[in-house]
Structures are given as structure tokens and as C-alpha cells.
Chains A and B, each alone.
Chain A
Amino acid sequence: MPLEIPKDKWPGSVRAVTIGAASADGGTRSKSITIGGQTTLPYLHFEAPTPNQPVVGIEIKSRRPEDWSTLLNEPWGDVMDDPAAWAKKAEEAGAGLLVLGLTLADSPEDAVKAVKSVLAASGLPLVVWGPGQAEKDNELLVPVAEAAKGERLVLGICEDKNYRTIVATAMANGHLVQARTPMDVNLSKQLNILISDMGMPKDRIIMDPTTGALGYGIEYGYSVMQRLRLAALQGDAMTQFPMLVTPGYEAWKTKEAKVGEGVPETWGDWKTRAVNWETYTALALIESGADIVVLRHPESVARVKAAIAELVTA
């Protein structure tokens, strides 16, 4: 019996966004990456091809993190003391881009030095996060943006209470911004509007709708991402940005991933469970429309990349 498969035809599409600038474009990256551009829901090749595949980023820090799970010391080891060495190792582990997290202990000079050393050590496109306190973020990200002018970094994290300075310096120095809102479609749109209203070109905004980890609110992030993507396809301009989410950060906060002692035996082998926790969180978000997932463990990176390779094959 011939079947007529119901197909969706959408009026809108996601904007394509390029991160990182190679020398021809005024930067030093060995290559840039482009994400977004979708004209239908994720990986439905019978409706439209996947124009750009999602990218797996690896999160590194400017200093050895004190609060990371000890399981993450195994794969990274000594390089956690040196962002440049860490960047190299992350590239070897298969990262498609790097995410460098600055810390409260960094001075502006430290931050610039860390960013420059990472840029020198690896040709991957780079996302730089402030430590997450408004004043300190501004204090560190402005000199970083200036020092890396033209590299098309992604500067994060812009939130409603702290986006102006970051957006301004990103505009002045040819970078992009990561616009984060707490798991809500309207808040997401609103921040994108505020950032656009400052004059930020629309191909330099990446949305971060926030996610919860598996077991800790992933269903909210998952559904908000699906709704944002549907809105984009329906033609709502202020949702037509690629999405970055941080399953690594979220998953490794959970007890299930973080600790191996004092937890129920029914949770099974710690390491496998922990990597599964991060991997499944990432996979679910990729199915709901993530364009960048930022991870921490190299095994999760390999598994998620293999899944992406299967998903983008028509």
C-alpha cells in the first residue's frame, strides 16, 4: 500500500551562525564552525537535510577546578593545571570547540593570559565564560574581548541582569554572545530582543535556554527547546537562533554522576553511570534541537559524537 507520510512545511528557519575566525577572516582559528540553518525539526531527513551538524564542545577551566567530580581527574589529570595543555588534550579528545571557564580567582591579566594561551595552543573556535558574577564577568570579559579582537569568540554568559557590557564589547570586537535564560520560552525571546535592540547583528547571537540534568529537570529544558525550535520554524524571528546547552555542567553537579560513595547500590557502577548520566542528558537535548552541547568527560564526547554522526546521516 503506498503511504502518504504527513510532512511539515515550515515558513521559518533557524539562522546560521559562524563561530571562530580563520586568518582570512581576521582571526587565528584553524577553522571556523557553522551551526544552525535548519528548516525543519531535528534529523527528519525526509523533510529537509540537516544543513550543519551539532557540535560537541569540551569545558575547560582557567584554573584546576576544586569542585569537579574526582572521576574527571582520571581522563584529564595534570593538564587541569594548565589551560593551554588542557585545550590541546580536549582537542585530541575530539572537541569541536572549546569552552574556557574563567574563575573568581582570576584577575583581568590572568584571564587574558589564559585566553591567549588557549588560542595559541589550539586552533578550535572558543567560547569564554565569565565566572558567573555580574561585576566580575564584566571585569574579565571586556579585556578578554579586546585582547582577542576579531577571533569571533562566543562571550558568555549574558543574562537579563548582565548583558549590556558583554554585548557592547562583543559588538566592538567582533565576537558573539551566549544569551542565557532560565528554561522559559518567553524569557528567552525577551533577552534576544534586548540584545538585538542594542544593535547586535542577529547572526552573532546563540541562545542558551538552560537545561536541567537528567533527573533534575531535564524535561523542562527539553520541552522549552522543542517549543523554541517550533516557534523558530513557524517564523518567530526572535527564536531563530541556534541553541547551546550545558549538559556536562548540569550532569556533573548531580549526585548520580559526582560521587561514588554513600549512594544506593541500585545505581550501579559509578563511572559507567556517571558517563551515562552526561551522555543521555546530552542525547535527549540533541534530539530536542541543541546545536552545541558542552560536555566534560571524553567518553561522553566520543559517544555523543558517534550518535550525532548517525543522526545526520540521511
Chain B
Amino acid sequence: MALSGIQIYKLLPQTNCKECGFPTCLAFAMKLAAKQVELSSCPYVSEESKKQLAESAAPPIRLVALKGAGAEVKAGNEVVMFRHEKTFYNKPGLFIHVKASDPDLAAKVAAADAYKVNYVGMDFTVDGFALVLDSDAAAAIQTVRGATKRPLILIGDAAALQAGLSACGGETPLLYAADASNADALAELAKGKAALTVKADSLEALADLTQKIQAKGVEDMVLDLGGKNLSEWLTRSTQVRRLALKANFRALGYPVIAFPCDAQDEGIAAAQAIAKYAGFIVLSEFKPELLYPLLVLRENIYTDPQKPIQVQPGVYEINQPKPESPVLVTTNFSITYFSVANEVEGSGLPAWLVVTDAEGMSVLTAWAAGKFDAERIAKAIKGFDVASKVAKKRVVLPGHVAVLSGELEAELPDWEIRVGPREAVDLPAFMKQALN
């Protein structure tokens, strides 16, 4: 937990010597709490205080970064149980399970590595590969590195992991996995070179193990919670998150790895892992029909609720519009855009959809805030040169802003202004009945 200014003040020398540039230790403490100054500005802080302050500044869930040959994926640093409380920060990395012994290893990795899918203007990819070292590790890593730069999870016994790790020079892979039987050896191996997965049958045993491994000098750990079904995994994942965030329990303050590839229904287990706090997720194979919906779900869950996704303002073509097709207007709030685009697209009717820059607000909110008025709409119609695309200068306003039609007529004198329905769902019927 972060300390308050007063708590920090108690750890300072309280001599008000002013060397830090502030008139009192208290003033300096307040600045420290606000993270506006560095502790090093005070030359007189005791070693003990330094340690306490450093601990309090550490995030409750450690940020673990896996590094490949030029690509990186991070997990941890989360601060809330529910996305609406603030946001979830580091999207769980999606890893594809591959085997060193697979004769098609190179091709499989290359196919998954090349995958790129677009969702509302963003490109999504897989994040890395979980490589089972069941044959010559060095050769397998060389093969994989010929096909991808993405980070690796190495799975195998201590000897295989050692061979694998030495073939991953300069990278930070994740080793899988330390349990009670091999914790010492794997801690030695991972120290300073790799992140280490830790697994145990209960959270108590897991906490004992992470402390033991940390004492050996390993900082970056990832937890495998086990769990025989969805319910058990959900329980453990929730408990670990709560212990870290609410009890500041360091021994379980690490990201969690999930293996939907072992579940009854892989997609469902992966969907739960995305919603419920996984940091890394291992999928059995590269299948776009599984991956694409999961990537979208991940994006949705990790979208900052305070900053709704906006779509790019512009003219969107729906169902290959022709010059005689109608012109519809809406705002660039993603959900508003989606509901309009989706209804029209589903109806099969062609249309030009003009998305105006309303700073990511819905029609009513934007109108109330003065971000969706006649001036802005006219600016969009003119700016995107809609007139050059259509034969009939006729624009359909959302029903909620019917009041704007008079002003818009003044702004766009050679256009016919029509008022459409209030709800997107009524658009197809309106287009069929009123626009012909």
C-alpha cells in the first residue's frame, strides 16, 4: 500500500534542515506522497526508512515482463478487483502451446506469429509461445527463433530448462514450473535470467514456496493456481487478487498463469481467465476462430471505463453504398457507432454513415455537452466532402437531436434535413419506409 504524507513524515528525520529544498520535512513528505519528488533529495533518511518507503512504493501485484528477441509482454501491476473501479491495466498475454519434438514446429510458430487481426482500427496478434522442451532444447529454440521474436514460456524439467535458458541469451523467458520438489534448483537457474512459475496444490503451499524462492534471490514469479474446474480456478484467482490488493500480502502478489489448453472447454476457460485476473494464458493451438473472439474479449475487458473507445470520425461505407444511398449521421462514441452500423449492416440496406467528432460521447450526452451540434455536423459533412459521393443531398439526423434540424438547415442550405428514429434498432424500418 502506498503511504500517506503523514506516514512518510514519520519516517523522515524531522529536523526541517531544508536541504531538500522544502521548508519542512512535512512539506517534503507531502511531495513524496504525491510522487512529485525523489527520496534521494533528502540526504539524511535512515537505511531502515529507505527500506520501508521502497516497500510501500512497490505495487501490490508485481509487474513481470517477459522478453523475447525484441518483443515483450507484461503482466501484473493491477490495482482493482472490478474494472469499473478504475481499469485493468496489463492485458493477459496469449501464448500458443508448441512442442520441441513437433516436426512442424517451425511452420506452426510461423503461422501463429504472422497472425494479425484488426478490430476497430487496432491490430491484434498472439503474444508468445509456450514451448515444451521434450527434445533437443537448443535446437528447438533455434527453430522457434527463426520464426518469431515473441517471448517464450519454457516448459520442462530442470535439465531441459537449463539447456533452454542458455539458448535464450539476452531474453527473459518464463520457466515452467517450480514446485516443492525442484524449487531450489529452478530458483538458482532463474535468478537474474528468467521469470519463474511457481505451482502448488493450495494457496498456503504456494505462498510458502514463493517466499522460499524469493529468499534465493528470484524477484519475478508467476503463479500457477491449479484448480480442477472453472469454479475452483475462479475461487483461487479471486482469493489471490484479494490477498494482494486488500491485505497487501506480498507472498502472492504476482501475476497468475492459466492453462485453458487443459480444460474441458478451452474457449470458456480462456474467457473466464481473461475476465478473472489471469496475467498469462496458454492456448493449445493457433486457431483464429478461437483466438479472435478471445482477443476481442480481452480488449473489451481491459478498455479503460473512463476513456471509452472512440472510432475515427469519417464517412463509413455500409453495404457498398451508391450515390443514391442515404446519408446517416452519428457520433464517434464506439457503442453508438456500433449500434448504428450494426443495425444498418444487418438490414442489408446500403448507407453512408457520417461519424462526427463528438469527443467519444453518445448522441444525447454529446448534444447536452455541446459536442454534437449543427455546426459540428455541418463541418463533418463538408470536411469529409460527403456531397461528392452522393446524388441526393439528404442527411438523416438521429431522432434524439431533432431540435437541431432548423440550425442544420441554416448551416447546410442546399441539403434536405430529415429526422430519423431515436433508436438505432428502428433505423432499418425507417430507411425502408421513409427514405424511398
Q: State whether these chains interact.
A: yes
Asked if A63 is at the interface (CB within 8 A of a chain B CB), the reply is: no
A residues near B347, Cβ cutoff 8 Å: 67
B-facing mask of A35-72, CB < 8 A → 1, else 0?
00000000111100000000000000000000100000
Q: How far is the CB of B86 from chain A (nearest CB, A)?
A: 12
Q: How far is the CB of B296 from chain A (nearest CB, A)?
A: 4
B-facing mask of A290-305, CB < 8 A → 1, else 0?
0000000000000110
B-facing mask of A262-277, CB < 8 A → 1, else 0?
0011111110110011
B-facing mask of A219-244, CB < 8 A → 1, else 0?
11011001100100000000000000
Q: Are A217 and B335 in contact (CB under 8 A)?
A: yes
Asked if B83 is at the interface (CB within 8 A of a chain A CB), the reply is: yes
Q: How far is the CB of B367 from chain A (nearest CB, A)?
A: 16
Q: Are A132 and B305 in contact (CB under 8 A)?
A: no
Asked if A3 is at the interface (CB within 8 A of a chain B CB), the reply is: yes
How many residue pairs link A and B with beta carbons under 8 A? The number is 161
Q: Are A266 and B115 in contact (CB under 8 A)?
A: yes
Q: Are B243 and A254 in contact (CB under 8 A)?
A: no
A-facing mask of B228-248, CB < 8 A → 1, else 0?
011100110011001100110
Q: Are B208 and A1 in contact (CB under 8 A)?
A: yes
Q: Are B231 and A268 in contact (CB under 8 A)?
A: no
Q: A43-B234, A253-B342, A273-B292 are in contact. Are A223 and B83 (CB under 8 A)?
A: yes
Q: A5-B243, A227-B84, A253-B342 are in contact. Are A306 and B265 (CB under 8 A)?
A: yes
Q: Which of A140-185 contact B (CB under 8 A)?
A: none
A-facing mask of B105-127, CB < 8 A → 1, else 0?
00000000001111100000000
**How far apart sit A2 and B383, CA to CA, in the bound complex (Å)?**
66
Q: Are B293 and A280 in contact (CB under 8 A)?
A: yes
A residues near B292, Cβ cutoff 8 Å: 256, 266-268, 273
Q: Are A222 and B301 in contact (CB under 8 A)?
A: yes
**How far apart sit A267 and B208, CA to CA, in the bound complex (Å)?**
44
Which residue, B117, B265, B297, B301, has most C-beta atoms of chain A within 10 A? B297
Closest to B428 in A: A67
How many residues of chain A get a CB closer than 8 Å to chain B's CBs? 56
Q: Are B346 and A258 in contact (CB under 8 A)?
A: yes
Q: Are A5 and B339 in contact (CB under 8 A)?
A: no
B residues near A264, Cβ cutoff 8 Å: 117-118
Interface segment among B136-144, B185-193, B267-275, B401-409: the answer is B267-275
Q: How far is the CB of A130 from chain B (nearest CB, A)?
A: 14
Closest to A218 in B: B300
**How far apart sit A288 and B275, CA to CA, in the bound complex (Å)?**
9
Q: A3-B204, A212-B335, A273-B289 are in contact. Are A313 and B272 (CB under 8 A)?
A: no
Q: Are B294 and A215 in contact (CB under 8 A)?
A: no
Q: Are B342 and A254 in contact (CB under 8 A)?
A: yes
Q: Are A216 and B338 in contact (CB under 8 A)?
A: yes
Asked if B312 is at the interface (CB within 8 A of a chain A CB), the reply is: no
Closest to A132 in B: B425
Asked if A24 is at the interface (CB within 8 A of a chain B CB), the reply is: no
Q: Are B231 and A312 in contact (CB under 8 A)?
A: yes
B residues near A227, Cβ cutoff 8 Å: 82, 84
Q: Are A266 and B300 in contact (CB under 8 A)?
A: no
Q: Are B247 and A4 in contact (CB under 8 A)?
A: yes
Q: Are A287 and B288 in contact (CB under 8 A)?
A: no
Q: Are B82 and A226 in contact (CB under 8 A)?
A: yes
Asked if B257 is at the interface (CB within 8 A of a chain A CB), the reply is: no
A residues near B284, Cβ cutoff 8 Å: none
**How far apart sit A270 and B272, CA to CA, in the bound complex (Å)?**
22
A residues near B264, Cβ cutoff 8 Å: 306, 310
**How far apart sit A269 and B243, CA to CA, in the bound complex (Å)?**
41
Contact of A284 among B84, B297, B338 (CB under 8 A): B297
A residues near B338, Cβ cutoff 8 Å: 212, 215-217
Q: How far is the CB of B116 from chain A (nearest CB, A)?
A: 7
Q: Are B290 and A268 in contact (CB under 8 A)?
A: yes
Q: A264-B118, A273-B293 are in contact. Are A219 and B305 (CB under 8 A)?
A: yes
Contact of A277 among B235, B293, B305 (CB under 8 A): B293
**How far apart sit A215 and B296, CA to CA, in the bound complex (Å)?**
6
Asked if B216 is at the interface (CB within 8 A of a chain A CB), the reply is: no
Q: How far is the CB of A186 from chain B (nearest CB, A)?
A: 14
Q: Are A6 and B243 in contact (CB under 8 A)?
A: yes
Asked if B183 is at the interface (CB within 8 A of a chain A CB), the reply is: no
**How far apart sit A267 and B287, CA to CA, in the bound complex (Å)?**
9
Residues in A lying within 8 Å of B, measured CB to CB: 1-6, 43-46, 67, 132, 212, 214-220, 222-223, 226-227, 230, 253-256, 258, 264-270, 272-273, 276-277, 279-280, 283-284, 287-288, 303-304, 306-307, 310-314
A-B contact pairs, 24 of them (CB 8 A): A2-B204, A212-B338, A215-B296, A216-B335, A217-B339, A222-B83, A222-B301, A226-B82, A253-B346, A266-B115, A267-B117, A268-B291, A268-B292, A269-B289, A272-B290, A273-B289, A276-B267, A280-B268, A280-B271, A283-B271, A287-B275, A304-B268, A306-B265, A310-B229
Residues in B lying within 8 Å of A, measured CB to CB: 82-84, 115-119, 203-204, 207-208, 211, 229-231, 234-235, 238-239, 242-243, 246-247, 249, 251, 264-265, 267-268, 271-272, 275-276, 287-294, 296-297, 300-301, 303, 305, 334-335, 338-339, 342-343, 345-347, 425
* 5 tightest Cβ-Cβ pairs between the two chains A and B: A268-B289, A268-B288, A273-B289, A266-B117, A310-B230
- Apart from the given pairs A44-B238, A267-B117, A267-B288, 4 other A-B contacts in the complex at a CB distance below 8 Å: A46-B235, A303-B267, A304-B268, A310-B229
